[in-house]
Amino acid sequence: MLKAESLRKAFGEGRARIEVLRELSLDLGAGELTLISGPSGCGKSTLLSILSGLLYPDEGRVIALGEDLGKLDERQIERFRLQHTGFVFQGFNLFPALTALEQVALPLNYLGLDAASANRRALRALEEVGLGPRARLRPASLSGGEKQRVAIARALAKQPDLLFADEPTSALDAASGQGVIDTLHRIAREHGTTVLCVSHDPRLNVHADRVLAMEDGRIWSDRRPQAVEETPT
């Protein structure tokens, strides 16, 4: 579903040049929540941006759903992201004047759905994340955890093959963060979606199917916490 080969990325020039990714490769399958963990500045968010087509690598390539993203022009890659990917960000990225239902329905209009179809799909997505009764509320009336679930519903309503989440729990308390990561995990399993989550929060490690630990622009370990827990002693 999603594959990276020998990625390199640097920022700056001369003495100010910083190499953020160094010969990084990975291969992700469908139906799993993969967590990329590591300290701030290790390259997690840069990797996420490259894998989602928001940023191009200096070297290497990304193959997503059989497409070499480096061979797509700007218009083609925008269309690819619209049709196949969903995004969940740390800051929720909600519009203050729109209700939860309107937030979720908005990107569906760009997919060509009429208003009635977009609203029906948006409401189903909100119900799936437990916010059906809150569909008519605006962000000011929602808690932090509810805002993040609206953002997840907005991504989910597009029925994406790839779902990217950048620090989705960092602005939330422990209980709300747990609810968000559980929702992302369920989406991966029930919808067969490839979910890739970037976080430096160690509490999330045990809830992922797979944990990739990053440091200094490289992946240093690749483990499956749940498989370890289920191994007989």
Asked whether the beta carbons of 25 and 5 are under 8 A apart, the reply is: yes
Q: Which residue has the tokens 């929602």?
A: 142
Q: Which residue has the tokens 């979910």?
A: 195
pTM of the full structure: 0.89
Q: How many CB atoms lie within 10 A of CB 34?
A: 21
Work out whether the CA dihedral 12, 38, 83, 148 comes out positive or negative.
negative
Domains of the chain: 2-230 (3.40.50.300)
Q: Which residue has the tokens 């991504």?
A: 155
Q: Which two tokens mark 89? A: 């960000």
Residue 84 has pLDDT above 90, yes or no: yes
With cut-offs at 50, 70 and 90, classify the pLDDT of residue 92: confident
- For range 61-68, the mean pLDDT: 94
**Between residues 149 and 225, which one has the greater pLDDT?**
149
Query: Looking at residue 189, what is its pLDDT?
Result: 92
Separation between Cα atoms, residue 12 and residue 6, nearest integer Å: 20
Query: Looking at residue 228, what is its pLDDT?
Result: 45
Query: Looking at residue 194, what is its pLDDT?
Result: 94
pLDDT tens, position by position, 44-54: 989 999 999 99
pLDDT tens, position by position, 184-221: 998 999 999 999 999 887 777 777 899 999 998 999 99
- For range 148-154, the mean pLDDT: 92
Query: Looking at residue 226, what is its pLDDT?
Result: 64
